[in-house]
Chains A and B, each alone.
Chain A
Amino acid sequence: MRKPSDLAGPWFATRGWKPFAFQKRVWAAVARGESGLLHASTGAGKTYALWLAALQHLHAQDTPRAKHPAPLQVLWITPMRALAADTARALQAPLDALQIHWSLGVRSGDTSSAERARQSRRMPSALITTPESLTLLLTRDAAQSEFASLRLVVVDEWHELLGNKRGVQLQLALARLRRWHPGLIVWGISATLGNLEHARDVLLPEGGCLVQGRQDKRIEVDTLLPEAIERFPWAGHMGLKMLAQVRDEVARSSSCLVFTNTRAQAELWYQALLEARPDWAGIIALHHASLARETRNWVEQSLKQGQLKAVVCTSSLDLGVDFLPVERVLQIGSAKGMARLMQRAGRSGHAPGRPSRVTLVPTHSLELVEAAAAREAVAARQIEARRSPALCMDVLVQHLVSMALGVGFRPAQLLEEVRSTWAYRHLRDEQWQWALEFVHNGGASLGAYPDYHRVIEAPDGVWRVANARLARRHRMGIGTIVSDASIQLKFWSKGGGGRNLGSVEEAFVARLRPGDAFLFAGRTLELVRIDNMTAYVRRSTARKPAVPRWNGGRMPLSSELARAVVEQLDSAAHGRYHGPAMQAVKPLLELQRRWSVIPTHDMLLAETWTSRQGCHLFLYPFAGRTTHLGLASLLAWRYSRSQPASFSIAVNDYGLELLCPGEVPWAAMLPDLLSPDELLEDVLASLNAGEMAMRRFREIAQISGLVFGGYPGSHKSTRQIQASSGLFFEVFRQHDAGNLLLGQARDEVLNAELEIDRLAQVLSRLGGLRLHLQPLARPGPLAFPLLVEGMRETLSTEKLADRIARMVADLEKAASRER
């Protein structure tokens, strides 16, 4: 038998590499049977640290020259199925070179049924899978024996899962694996985070070591300066004013990634670049998560082989195995956070020793300030923290039904397992009982309905899913934790569908009529018909296509970056403009100074203005959009306690706008409204008057199986049980107000959307600032983007009838003006 270190050394040597100290530390820790978390910037050999550890430690123990490859040894969990194929290629290389008799398999939503069947007969030695597919594998009758020989679990890109519910789902799956294998070795691989101890504790509740990888990567940040500064920055557009400059930068470099923040923006930019340089057809490409698998594969492969000059992409290319030839990265619009910016920067100059280069492309003038701030924050390495959600009742309900598939579960045993995870370590008995009741008979309000059962308790005390049809529906739903109801796009051809193009949200397609044109996958398409959850399209020559909007993707500016922005403004307020970006934005800030004032770090600016729409308040706490939303709801609610009122709320990362049809004496009231006292009570009360909890409920309804997306190809048979989550929300609120899913919607708004802790911190910070009230003669550069923001929240404490009467009267007035 070879000694462990004999294996990796020669393989590294054949490639002309030398193992790094951190790689040796990981190998030693795995050899001792320890779990841990490995963190480093991208492109630093993290994958091989773990994979060779597995090969050395686990392979050394099998008997060589067996007839079959080794049974399942390693689970490699990746956050995106798009990464699975890439990971497989990376892991295969040392197997071939070292002639290790291991088989490698991929199991994800994209795996073919033939491959699934092969895996059912015999699991590969190492299986690459996603959290959703892992949960599904655990629901199989034979799961325990299929996983019997498992030794090591590697969670790749753990930072991507840590902060969301998919991470919680994974925590539950790992708890099941640990119950089967008490000594199971689990490793996480993570990018650098501001709170690595937390990242480790969530993944490894029983403890483990932290290994730091190489951090010597140099990151260069620069900014493309617009030729002319718009003094009224409107955040609504896509930044296409910078097209000519971006085109020139792309032309100048051999290979680059152009990151955008939304899929719609990626579609528009790709189209615009092609129009600017038709000769780039074929050498620039588009990549986002809604495109068909094959398209994405082709792009990734071509990028790796150095065949592409540029790829316009979204966060879909944030992760993944190294794209070596990428020379530089352009970021269109704000990256919103330091971790994300550095991750994206790290996509370029991937080989050890080469610097990463990222160029920021502001989409509106104020982003120049952000760019200057980001540059300094990168230099100071200020990186955000990510925290795991806890006690998600929707994920727990889904998990209970999952575990009731296959061999079923015993409540006492499953409770112990669930509580062993970080997310549910404080799960109370009554919450557990509620979840059991919910899957058993739908909770208290359904008790009298004998026709309702999802999971039933057999006489032997084991809980199982009631019937096969239900089991099938549940399996379909497991993957819906992140995705909204989506509809497939296919080319129309006589006698059946043509090539698959990808998917768009149902809500977008629902607004289109046959013949309407829209932009997708870099093409202008025309809707032909919708049938069986599939939209059939053909090419179109229309000039003004619509662009699909996908939900999500409105990230708030992180506190770290926001603080850096305020520092830049503070300098500007004192007449100091450092660096080219700040010089460029100087005319805008000087206009702000003339019409109002430039906010400083010891002042809270509140601007007021009256227009035909009503009475406006613009307030600038620089705390990120989610906190601003919470703050705006809080102020509106507190005001309307003295007098019923309706408000329209707009927020961006710098500030908020409250718009009321009536007169509001903000100057007199604002100091009291900003009090940090009774914060939680007031925010909870404000939720009932607003619409945020209902919007949040949409996702919860989907995960917990309330809203059913339908089976592909059998749209009709499910129509009787389709209702919008908004309708569900109203029915629950009227007829089952104690429902914990409603409670969760409220909690999630508090924690995720409003970030109550951050709100409390912000209020206490604002309390220490001098309030500067500034009436405006006309909206200034800071107010303007809020004024024109289209995405708005409403908060109303008026009686519905009063509200309607007022609005009908408005309408009358408008109509008589027209005449």
Chain B
Amino acid sequence: MSHCLNIDVQGEQLWLLGDKALYWPARRVMLVADVHIGKAAAFRAQHLPVPRGTTQSTLQRLDRLLTSYPCEELIVLGDFLHARTGRAAATLERVRQWREQHARLKITLIRGNHDLHAGDPPEGLRIDVLDGPLLLGPFALQHEPEPHATHLVLAGHVHPVYVLRGRARQRLRLPCFVIGERLGLLPAFGDFTGGWAVQPQPGERVYLTADAQVWPVKP
């Protein structure tokens, strides 16, 4: 148990962070997936009364990560914005302020299915947007976990959670990383996101995240 766990994937050192992000120290790159900014606003636009504060706390967690680890680039593996109706003025203003605090950071967004619907982030945010896969070192960075012919895929989209069972019939659902030989899945980063229970296959390793800590599990 720790805030950060160092693993070796294809000869590269990757740090799995309890804050649901992946740090690649050799490249000074922070990877997150499924941020879903503006999801609560999208609900409100449809007259569903979701409280404020989820976007704020998601961005605060990103702040904390970017100041704790030396980063030159933030790569978002898709679903940065949740929906077109979630592009509320107040929400986008908050993102703009956040961007200003990290003015020198390069940000890359690999489009996810929600981004296709929501549209690209406003120009002023200076986010490079591209369709996956983005090949970087031994990795293919993309949104959906489609296999890649030559590279190990790092993807999001699934919002993986693992159901942990213990003695005395204890049971917990926790967001997790799933790292296999051809595919690595990142947990959803956003605060207002649900999850999909995964069944790890042979050869896949699961790392639980909760309370800003990370635990390896032997399935």
Contact = CB atoms under 8 A, between A and B. Distances in A.
B215 A661 contact: no
B100 interface: no
Given A451-B45, A721-B46, A648 B52 contact: no
B154 interface: no
Contacts of A723: 39, 43, 192, 194
Interface residues of B, number: 48
A449 B88 contact: yes
A648 B45 contact: no
Contacts of B11: none
Interface stretch (B26-34, B65-73, B119-127, B161-169): B161-169
B1 interface: yes
Contacts of A473: 47
Nearest to A661: B168
B168 A804 contact: no
Contact of B168 (A442, A613, A726): A613
Given A648-B170, A660-B168, A723-B192, A705 B210 contact: no
A803 B170 contact: yes
Given A723-B192, A727-B192, A808 B170 contact: no
Nearest to B209: A804
A438 B44 CA distance: 12
A792 B51 contact: no
B217 A808 contact: yes
Contacts of A739: 51
A808 B215 contact: yes
Interface string A438-470: 100011011011011110000000000010001
Given A724-B194, A810-B166, A449 B52 contact: yes
Nearest to B169: A648
Nearest to B47: A454
Interface string B78-108: 0000110110101000000000000000000
A804 B208 contact: yes
A145 interface: no
Contact of B54 (A661, A735, A804): A735
Interface string B129-173: 000000000000000000000000000000000001111111110
B52 A448 contact: yes
A646 B52 contact: no
B52 A720 contact: no
Nearest to B192: A731
Given A614-B168, A661-B168, A449 B54 contact: no
Contacts of A438: 49
Interface in A683-735: 705-706, 708, 720-721, 723-724, 726-728, 731-732, 734-735
Interface string A727-757: 1100110111001000000000000000000
B115 to A, nearest CB: 12
B183 interface: no
Contact of B217 (A448, A726, A811): A811
A800 interface: yes
B168 A659 contact: yes
A354 B74 CA distance: 80
A805 interface: yes
B41 interface: yes
A214 to B, nearest CB: 51
B155 to A, nearest CB: 20
B210 A804 contact: yes
A232 B43 CA distance: 51
B49 A661 contact: no
Interface residues of A, number: 54
Contact of B88 (A451, A454, A612): A451
Contact of B169 (A454, A659, A706, A735): A659
A660 B90 CA distance: 47
Contacts of B64: none
A153 to B, nearest CB: 33
A697 to B, nearest CB: 14
A452 B44 CA distance: 5
Contact of B164 (A660, A706, A808): A808
A451 B83 CA distance: 15
A812 interface: yes
B7 interface: no
A452 B51 contact: no
A794 interface: yes
Contacts of A442: 44, 49-50
A451 B85 CA distance: 10
B116 interface: no
Nearest to B88: A451
A1 interface: no
A739 B208 CA distance: 31
A281 interface: no
B170 A811 contact: no
Contact of A452 (B47, B164, B208, B215): B47
A97 interface: no
Given A442-B49, A735-B52, A815-B218, A794 B171 contact: yes
Contact of B167 (A445, A661, A727): A661
Interface in B176-219: 191-194, 208, 210-211, 213, 215-218
Given A449-B44, A731-B40, A794 B210 contact: no
Contacts of B191: 731
A646 B50 contact: no
A66 interface: no
A244 interface: no
Given A661-B168, A794-B171, A804 B44 contact: no
B38 to A, nearest CB: 10
Contacts of B57: 734
B167 A736 contact: no
Nearest to B114: A720
Interface string A232-245: 00000000000000
B42 A803 contact: no
Contacts of A449: 41, 44, 52, 88, 90
Contacts of B172: 803-804, 807
A806 interface: yes
A661 B166 contact: yes
A730 to B, nearest CB: 9
Given A800-B211, A807-B167, 17 more contacts: A449-B90, A452-B47, A454-B47, A614-B168, A646-B168, A648-B168, A708-B46, A720-B83, A727-B192, A727-B193, A727-B194, A734-B53, A801-B210, A804-B164, A804-B215, A807-B170, A810-B166
Interface of B: 1, 39-54, 57, 82-83, 85-86, 88, 90, 114, 117, 164-172, 174, 191-194, 208, 210-211, 213, 215-218
6 contacts: A449-B90, A659-B169, A723-B194, A727-B192, A736-B51, A808-B216
